[in-house]
Structure 1
Amino acid sequence: MSVTTLLLQLVVILTTARVCGWLLRYLGQPSVVGEMAAGLMLGPAVMGALFPLLHAQLFAKELLQGLSSLSTVGLVLFMFVVGLELRSSQNMRAQLKAAGAVGVLSVVVPLALGLAISPTLYPALAPAGVAFWPFALFMAAALSITAFPVMARILKDRGMTRTPFGQLSLSAAAVVDVFAWILLAFVVAMVGAGEGYTGLIKITVGVVVMLAFLFFGLKPAFAWLLRVKAPDGEPSTTVMASLMIGLLVTSLLTEWLHLHAVFGAFLFGACLPRDDRLLRSLSERIEPISIVVLMPLFFALAGLGTTASAFNGASLGAMLLIIGVATFGKIAGGAAGARMAGYSWRDSMATGSLMNARGLMELIVIKIGFDVGLIGPELFTMLLVMALATTAMTGPLMTLCIGRKTKPVAADVAALVDAEAHAKP
């Protein structure tokens, strides 16, 4: 692929992402929803149908390798920051017990519903050669995910981060996402283990060894390095280079273990010492390039993996079933858990609404499933639309549950759900 073609692809993708982001912000939705939708716009369902010749020339399969590599780098950087943010949440341990009911039910209910609808979806939508249980467990994980960064920014903007309700929601979201990522890693390992259970055992042992290396080797080493070379939370060039090397090594290790690079990036971020100053400094350095430039490439590649057939006939019915089950499972599970923890119905329903926001995290999950062959283009399209729908309904549902307390909720939620991919801590 020539440099000219790559640059043209970048111009088209970034321009489309920006325009769609601005349009959705104007309509009261977060920009990240518009940028995710831009992927669909650039895919075969829209651009491929309206401008088939241009689409075929610009996004031919043999021309996508450069975009794919760049988007993977952006994804690794983004998941590194997500891991840092998870570690930086305050009073997490103190809130885990109170958030247990919300976290458990927010996983169990959608997980059970995902397993329940899998027999209906499997015959028509599972790729050839994929066994039922890996497919069903992936569906369970995909329906169980919650966008932790979305919730954190919404609560921060509302001034509710340190309230009991805010701490409950944050802790529950962290519990949900950790469990969902563990389940997803297990399913990916099942697929990647070409030697059956023997291969799965090898991967499991490799992950355990890597975790020991991260938390008992790299963590104290970086704690010392940051304490000596970055006592004020501002990493020098040497420290930044060391962090990036550590990030790439852990991402490489998870790829070598037949897991996705994002798992290594997430774990590396989570293993670093908790320091809000460091998080802020790293976010200021990493997010501008990873979020503004590289992540739209990930959205575009996701859109290129969709198919227009998902919007026809029986497939449309399956898509509506997935959206309905995903929405009901998260809202019902989160609300029931909050009620068990002693919160009012209004706060409980607001908790369920927040847990239903999936955002970019869901897109990462389904892209992993697509890349390893657990799902095909049709189901991938359905799950992408589900991610868009559940994220877009967060604002209206929050308004319905708790009203407009301080400022217009649509703008409030739009600004901070957008922060999953744009705002700085």
Structure 2
Amino acid sequence: MTVLLLLLQLTVILVAARLCGLLLRALGQPMVVGEMAAGIVLGPIVFGALAPQLHAQLFPPASLHALSALSTLGVVLFMGLVGAELRAPGGMGAQLRASLWVGLSSMALPMLLGLAIAPVLHPALAPGGLGLWPFALFVAVALSITAFPVLARILKDRNMGRTPVGQLALGSAAVVDAFAWIVLALVLAVGSTQGQGAEGWSGFLRICGGLVLFAAALFLVLKPLYAALLRRELQAGALSDLGLVAVLVGLIACAAVAEWLHVHAVFGAFLFGVCLPRDDALLHALEARLAPMATALLLPVFFALAGLNASADALGAAALPTFALVLAAAIVGKVAGGAAGARLAGWGWRDSLAAGTLMNARGLMELIVIQIGLDAGLITPTLFTMLLLMALATTALTGPLLNLLGARAPLAILPARHRVAAGPAPSPLPPTDP
């Protein structure tokens, strides 16, 4: 019966994800917005409210362990691909400086706003016994996320991938990804040792030391080994079975090491992807072999579990002002922070606001972060639901806000230094629109 129930759950999840994805795509949204919405529809907020008995029979809590394992595997594969896709902002110095300005400012302002609103949220929305600082730091990170793959898909759909502002946004999102996962790892280390006094600080230092050793082993030992191996196993743009197995072993082993270090498996998967060679042929080969399984089968399971973890309490009248506060801090922080960074780099107001709007797309990356926070006991299901709805809203708003700005290729003529700085756009990941 357990196997039958799992197969029924997978069938319902995949059908719901595809139908919602197609519906939202018809409305001009990326497929991922519909798949995220499908998770909410399958949870207690919609399906559980409309048919509580059927919902309880189809998704009993005791049956969710298998779905959880599948979703973890899907996120590990996806984050490995995101790490492999990550590229440093390319082009001349002006483009690199502009990407750094936009990336760092679009992280700094929402983090500051997150720290500012955390004392208001903490009494009602922090798990019992959790101190203010671990909670506040996690809220700050959650508000600062940008979804690199979803951003790439939005730019492709709008024919903006090769425009200067599109490449600025992609480079800036790469900066955010790199810094956000490092900061999140430190927040998890703080959260796992908080409330333990001197022992907690020594545990925090041990985790940080373990992360340094882990990163050193990855980039000093595994990186050259995999570069040599993959050069041999990648022929005519195709990756051999041995090469694929080697990548999978490294990916899963690094995820396991990160989990052992108490910083979550996805961090290890992301770092492993980053240490792989920056080879477009390898990236396309990995996408061809891994992305369909990760994005078409396993990530919809992750969305469904996120929806099942949602709480209807977040939609009550008493919670709406709090949700409005979270949503406002998220949107203002990203749009204003990104726009300010672009202005400091010498861009015009319209293009600066377009860059800030693009940085506001959170998508799947936000869901991964808040699921980590829920698993680590840093947020309650109610705040998890608010952040889930915030991620959905900010991603869905990206297209309409760009329409208001008239931001579709080609944009207004930019200063010559920005036109020259724009190099070829990286290929968006993955083709199945995570």
What's the TM-score, normalizing by structure 2?
Answer: 0.91
Amino acid at match of 2:231: R
Aligned equivalents of 1:383, 1:233: Cα separation in 2: 40
* Alignment partner, residue 419 of structure 2: none
Amino acid at match of 1:172: S
* Alignment partner, residue 342 of structure 1: 346
Does structure 2 retain, via aligned residues, the 8 Å contact 1:99–1:169? yes
Match of 1:325 among 323, 326, 329: 329
* Alignment partner, residue 17 of structure 1: 17
User: Does 2:33 align with 1:29?
Assistant: no
Specify whether residues 26 and 163 from structure 1 end up closer, same or farther in structure 2 by C-alpha distance, changes over 3 A only: closer
Aligned equivalents of 1:213, 1:129: Cα separation in 2: 36
Aligned equivalents of 1:231, 1:92: Cα separation in 2: 32
Aligned equivalents of 2:112, 2:403: Cα separation in 1: 28
Match of 2:258 among 233, 254, 257: 254
Report the alpha carbon displacement of residue 229 of structure 1 after superposing the two structures with TM. Answer: 2.4
Aligned equivalents of 1:93, 1:227: Cα separation in 2: 30
Report the alpha carbon displacement of residue 107 of structure 1 after superposing the two structures with TM. Answer: 1.0
Report the alpha carbon displacement of residue 159 of structure 1 after superposing the two structures with TM. Answer: 5.0
Specify whether residues 103 and 88 from structure 1 end up closer, same or farther in structure 2 by C-alpha distance, changes over 3 A only: closer
Aligned equivalents of 1:92, 1:128: Cα separation in 2: 50
Aligned equivalents of 1:83, 1:350: Cα separation in 2: 25
Aligned equivalents of 1:244, 1:307: Cα separation in 2: 35
Alignment of 1:60-71 (within 5 A): 60-71=60-71
Specify whether residues 420 and 394 from structure 1 end up closer, same or farther in structure 2 by C-alpha distance, changes over 3 A only: farther
Report the alpha carbon displacement of residue 95 of structure 1 after superposing the two structures with TM. Answer: 3.6
Report the alpha carbon displacement of residue 156 of structure 1 after superposing the two structures with TM. Answer: 4.2
User: Does 2:12 align with 1:3?
Assistant: no
Specify whether residues 74 and 94 from structure 1 end up closer, same or farther in structure 2 by C-alpha distance, changes over 3 A only: farther
Alignment of 1:2-401 (within 5 A): 2-87=2-87, 90-91=90-91, 95-193=95-193, 195-401=199-405
Specify whether residues 276 and 383 from structure 1 end up closer, same or farther in structure 2 by C-alpha distance, changes over 3 A only: same
Report the alpha carbon displacement of residue 154 of structure 1 after superposing the two structures with TM. Answer: 3.3
Does structure 2 retain, via aligned residues, the 8 Å contact 1:111–1:141? yes
Aligned equivalents of 1:327, 1:169: Cα separation in 2: 16
Specify whether residues 252 and 306 from structure 1 end up closer, same or farther in structure 2 by C-alpha distance, changes over 3 A only: same
Does structure 1 retain, via aligned residues, the 8 Å contact 2:21–2:34? yes
Does structure 2 retain, via aligned residues, the 8 Å contact 1:280–1:424? no
Report the alpha carbon displacement of residue 321 of structure 1 after superposing the two structures with TM. Answer: 1.0
Amino acid at match of 2:336: A
For each residue in 1:129-187, what CA deviation from the matched residue of structure 2 results, as whole angstroms up to 9, or x when unmatched? 11100000000000001111222333345554454433322221111222221111111
Report the alpha carbon displacement of residue 424 of structure 1 after superposing the two structures with TM. Answer: 7.3
Contiguous gaps of at least 5 residues in structure 2? 412-427
Does structure 2 retain, via aligned residues, the 8 Å contact 1:32–1:421? no
Does structure 2 retain, via aligned residues, the 8 Å contact 1:283–1:424? no
Aligned equivalents of 1:221, 1:385: Cα separation in 2: 42
For each residue in 1:384-416, what CA deviation from the matched residue of structure 2 results, as whole angstroms up to 9, or x when unmatched? 000000000010111111345579xxxxxxxxx
Query: What SS is found at the alignment partner of 2:318?
Result: helix
Amino acid at match of 2:126: A
Deviates more, 1:50-59 or 1:362-371: 50-59
Does structure 2 retain, via aligned residues, the 8 Å contact 1:122–1:132? yes
Aligned equivalents of 1:379, 1:158: Cα separation in 2: 33
Aligned equivalents of 1:93, 1:267: Cα separation in 2: 26
Deviates more, 1:174-183 or 1:33-42: 174-183
Specify whether residues 221 and 384 from structure 1 end up closer, same or farther in structure 2 by C-alpha distance, changes over 3 A only: same
Amino acid at match of 1:129: G
Does structure 2 retain, via aligned residues, the 8 Å contact 1:20–1:35? yes
* Alignment partner, residue 423 of structure 1: 432
Report the alpha carbon displacement of residue 63 of structure 1 after superposing the two structures with TM. Answer: 0.5
Does structure 2 retain, via aligned residues, the 8 Å contact 1:48–1:55? yes
Specify whether residues 423 and 58 from structure 1 end up closer, same or farther in structure 2 by C-alpha distance, changes over 3 A only: closer
Amino acid at match of 1:135: F
Identity value in percent: 59
Specify whether residues 322 and 147 from structure 1 end up closer, same or farther in structure 2 by C-alpha distance, changes over 3 A only: same
Deviates more, 1:172-181 or 1:218-227: 172-181
* Alignment partner, residue 412 of structure 1: none
Aligned equivalents of 1:136, 1:92: Cα separation in 2: 37
- Number of positions where the alignment pairs a residue of Structure 1 with one of Structure 2: 414
